[in-house]
Structure 1
Amino acid sequence: MNTDLQTQKLLDFIDASPSPWHAVENIVGQLHAFGFEALDETAPWALQAGGRHYVVRDGSSIIAFVLGQQPLSASGFKIVGAHTDSPGLRIKPNPVNWLDSFVRLGVEIYGGPILATFADRDLSLAGRISHKTPQGQIANTLVRFDQALLRLPNLAIHLNRGVNDDGLKLHKQNELPLLLTRWTEEQLPPDYFFKLLQEQAGITGQQILAWDLAVYDTQPGAFWGINQEFYTDSQLDNLASCHAALAALLDGAVLDHENTQVCAFFDHEEIGSESHKGAAGSFLSDILSRIALATQTGQQAYLQALARSIMVSADMAHAYHPNFPLAYEPEHKVIVNNGPVIKVNANRRYSSESGSEALFANWCQESGVPYQYYSHRCDLPCGSTIGPIVSAKLGIRCVDVGNPMWAMHSIRESAGVLDHNYMISVLKRFFCDP
């Protein structure tokens, strides 16, 4: 199997997107290449059938849509939802501390990362800086350090004899600060870190007021396996789903279809989605309402549109790991490169129900794509997605799906080349469903 073009594009997308703000910036770049135009939530909208538009909220959530030829009341909305954030480490507001002449940066844990995987990696910083311009305005600038800037060195096994028996356990307050440099306090100016950010962002002389800075792994994505049938990178959960949805939306047949198609990519899924730009906020409902208003769709017709709408919540799924067979429900071992996974949970941790499951299975069959079902072990707590949140908030049918992957929430995750193409194919079919 040759390294796959779409999967290579995915790896390039992830490597150019070390933070949710960078991911949205790169999505915007792809949308512009296909004639999409930005809409401002603070301005009135004028929309025409066939129009291609997007809205960004606070830099790290984005909704893109193509307005179909059919009235909304007749077609509803075809929505794919995913999220731009990934678990990891974020830099604290006052991060710099000195200890025995070493300069360290304090971090907070974002979401539920596998902390041990951050040890001994070539780490750096990326995100956005909020600063005051010389004119007194508040502006946001993206920043990224390409070089390995930080490290979390492991303690030698001679000093931690039980690490292979007990696993690597890191004290969340005392043992997670990242090493930056060695300097005496007399040599290091108090605003050292601010100046470092200013120079990297190209805003020298402007006052930094705040930041959202993520720690990321500088190692690029790669293919692996004897036939290069697998791929690995950071943030597969969930930039792989964002990329698949975007690739499907930007297909020529999809763009010209009479349906109204929506891609909604939210920040803050990994911490519960409770924010003004998260899936539990008003972002999606606001945009759908604005589309209805701008197309002179009345309230009754808008409610008809919602009743006809369906959403695919695309998030990654737990692939069967042969080294840990007891971690899985015996009859629901989903296999890498065996197709997308329909995720089912009776307690509504996933939004799938038999009607929406059947629809997705049928789209797979019509696309020539294999599919699988996943159910969590009953003696383990099950994770959740944006699916149940959006489905309940809008009152629309939803199905939770995702591609199987290994090492979810590690800084280095893996998945299958075939599955990425399978997901793009079935999402194209979904967008064009009558």
Structure 2
Amino acid sequence: MPVTPDALIHAEDLADFVAASPSSYHAAAETARRLKDAGFERLREEDAWQVTPGGRYLVVRDGATIAWTLPADAVATTPAHIFGAHTDSPGFKLKPQPTTGSRGWLQAAVEVYGGPLLNSWLDRELRLAGRLALADGRVVLADTGALLRLPQLAVHLDRGVNNNGLALDKQAETQPVWGLGDASEADVLAELAASADVSAADIRGYDVMIADSARGAVFGRDDAFFASGRLDDLASVHAGVVALERAGSAESGPIAVLAAFDHEELGSNSRSGAAGPFLDDVLSRVYDALDADSSQRRRALASSWCLSSDVGHSVHPNYAQKHDPVVQPVLGSGPILKLNANQRYATDALGSAAWSAWCDTADVVTQEFVSNNNVPCGSTIGPITATRLGIRTVDVGIPILSMHSARELAGVSDLHDLTRVAGAFFAG
């Protein structure tokens, strides 16, 4: 699809969003900040909620954010349209006793998080980012900016690397350098503490990730491409945020919900993951505020929809045999509808028809995605949400290349089109 000026503006805004979201905790905070600026009221789970028709609200749980708008005519049986995504991305997480090193190098001890393409993290300027739990009970966000690097062994010392390939040892060969000196006299936590303007001595716990520090960029012929870290799945989170910002306070229609979960890359089994109780907790409190009894709530959910939005594979020009021989989505040709016979995606015939209608409303062309039978299919939050709540669920997203790389590749027009369909979906 042609790249419009609006699509280019959208891509630059996505670059800002990703830059502000080096960890799931930052992504949740940035989502909340943007929506608060758009007029959403932030609620605390510990408090009693005053939720009324016509209002716009959000709540943050750890690295996840759920936000919603109630139409002015909302009643106990008003359905919800839930746009689901996830805030975490594959990479590395800081271990306990994180300051290591040898032979004059300072290193950081890290653990593999999810399923990253390990080689893609080599020779990049990396940042440490996440949350710090302090002695006084506060939790603060920290972000060092560019601090670390995983230097690759020179070809002169590994003469067969271009013929035999490079397979990194996950323990011995993925510990990044961050300085020079004696590890017994340094503390990588001090770098994190300084970035948050707190004392390292006050840190009692931390959840800290490594993230690529390079900004997202538009490039290619006719500005067709957008490359960035963490497009899986911040591209979808951003699409939901922008669509919800633009939705305004509707007079009628469904309850528009953005559910940005954490820990999808690990299977979603956490209190802030899609398999946990977060979405159910929020929906229960919203319908309680609408005086819904258990029967009315079940009726509302039976009429509800969830769009589970995550990235999918574009056909790769150098590895076309890895894809289905017929169904081959490509960057720049529209968002994708994801299907799988074994319910790794939740899409069925009714969901396919609904997705087509939302795309038609938004004047967006769509593509289909299905896996090659010989290549195992990943999964998403879609089947989890459908199983947890019984909501009709459709798995969708954008096609990308280099999935789970430190820097992934998307189509500029697809990013904008996904947001447009999300807007039609929220409108009902």
Length-normalised TM-score, structure 1: 0.94
417, 423, 426: which one aligns with 2:421: 426
One-letter code of the match for 1:24? A
Distance in 2 of aligned mates of 1:93 and 1:278 = 23
Post-superposition offset of 1:62: 0.6
Q: Which residue of 1 aligns with 2:240?
A: 245
Distance in 2 of aligned mates of 1:68 and 1:253 = 9
Matches within 5 A, 1:123-162: 123-132=126-135, 137-146=136-145, 148-162=146-160
Q: Which residue of 2 aligns with 1:56?
A: 60
Secondary structure in 2 aligned to 1:149?
A: strand
How big is each residue's C-alpha offset from its partner over 1:22-49, in whole Å with a ceiling of 9 and x where there is no partner?
1111111111112111112122222110
294, 303, 327: which one aligns with 1:299: 294
The unaligned stretches of length 5 or more in structure 2 are none
Q: Which residue of 1 aligns with 2:38?
A: 34
Distance in 2 of aligned mates of 1:112 and 1:291 = 36
257, 267, 271: which one aligns with 1:272: 267
Change (3 A) 1:178 1:255: farther
CA contact (8 A) 2:72 2:250 kept: no
How big is each residue's C-alpha offset from its partner over 1:48-105, in whole Å with a ceiling of 9 and x where there is no partner?
10110011112x1010001123444543111000000000011101111232222211
Matches within 5 A, 1:314-325: 314-325=309-320
Q: Tell me whether 1:108 sits opposite 2:111 in the alignment.
A: yes
Matches within 5 A, 1:174-213: 174-184=172-182, 188-189=184-185, 192-204=187-199, 207-213=202-208
One-letter code of the match for 1:196? E
One-letter code of the match for 2:423? K
Distance in 2 of aligned mates of 1:52 and 1:102 = 51
CA contact (8 A) 1:247 1:424 kept: yes
Q: Which residue of 2 aligns with 1:119?
A: 122
One-letter code of the match for 1:79? I
Moved more, 80-89 or 176-185: 176-185
CA contact (8 A) 1:73 1:304 kept: no
Q: Percent identity?
A: 39
Distance in 1 of aligned mates of 2:266 and 2:250 = 33
Post-superposition offset of 1:158: 1.9
Matches within 5 A, 1:11-410: 11-58=15-62, 60-132=63-135, 137-146=136-145, 148-184=146-182, 188-189=184-185, 192-204=187-199, 207-252=202-247, 255=250, 257-410=252-405
Q: Which residue of 2 aligns with 1:4?
A: 8
Distance in 2 of aligned mates of 1:41 and 1:422 = 34
Change (3 A) 1:196 1:83: same
CA contact (8 A) 2:142 2:193 kept: no
Q: Which residue of 2 aligns with 1:415?
A: 410
One-letter code of the match for 1:151? R
Secondary structure in 2 aligned to 1:152?
A: coil
CA contact (8 A) 1:37 1:52 kept: yes
Post-superposition offset of 1:205: 6.8
How big is each residue's C-alpha offset from its partner over 1:314-359, in whole Å with a ceiling of 9 and x where there is no partner?
0011011111111100111001111110000010100100101111
Distance in 2 of aligned mates of 1:351 and 1:342 = 10
Post-superposition offset of 1:206: 5.0
Change (3 A) 1:329 1:94: same
Length-normalised TM-score, structure 2: 0.96
How big is each residue's C-alpha offset from its partner over 1:103-148, in whole Å with a ceiling of 9 and x where there is no partner?
211110000000000000011211111111xxxx3111111112x2
CA contact (8 A) 1:72 1:302 kept: no
Post-superposition offset of 1:249: 1.2
The unaligned stretches of length 5 or more in structure 1 are none
Post-superposition offset of 1:181: 1.6
CA RMSD of aligned residues (A): 1.5
How big is each residue's C-alpha offset from its partner over 1:196-250, in whole Å with a ceiling of 9 and x where there is no partner?
3322211137511111111111111111102111111000010000111111111
Secondary structure in 2 aligned to 1:380?
A: coil
Distance in 1 of aligned mates of 2:300 and 2:12 = 37
